[in-house]
Amino acid sequence: MAKKNEAEIQETTNGFSLGNFFQGLKEEFEKVVWPSRRQLVSESAAVLLMVSLSASVLFLVDKFFTWAAQQVFG
């Protein structure tokens, strides 16, 4: 009978292997390209600006419709 390697020993009945999982996890993290600090700050500022602008537009539209409804029904 041949010796089982460590991954085969840890394998459960559903085919999941903890060793293979961590090996794949390590390989995927090596592929990640992390942004520079400058890029991170720049893109975060852009997201915050767009969220603020969108919230402001929604607020103004809501106030307009509130005013219009009061004019019609008030």
Tokens of 2: 């041949």
pLDDT digits (tens, 9 = 90+) for 6-20: 555 555 556 788 999
Give ∠ CA 29-33-37 in degrees, rounded to 5. 120
Let me know if 17 is exposed, middle or buried by CB neighbors in 10 A (0-12, 13-18, 19+): middle
pLDDT digits (tens, 9 = 90+) for 35-68: 999 999 999 999 999 999 999 999 999 999 999 9
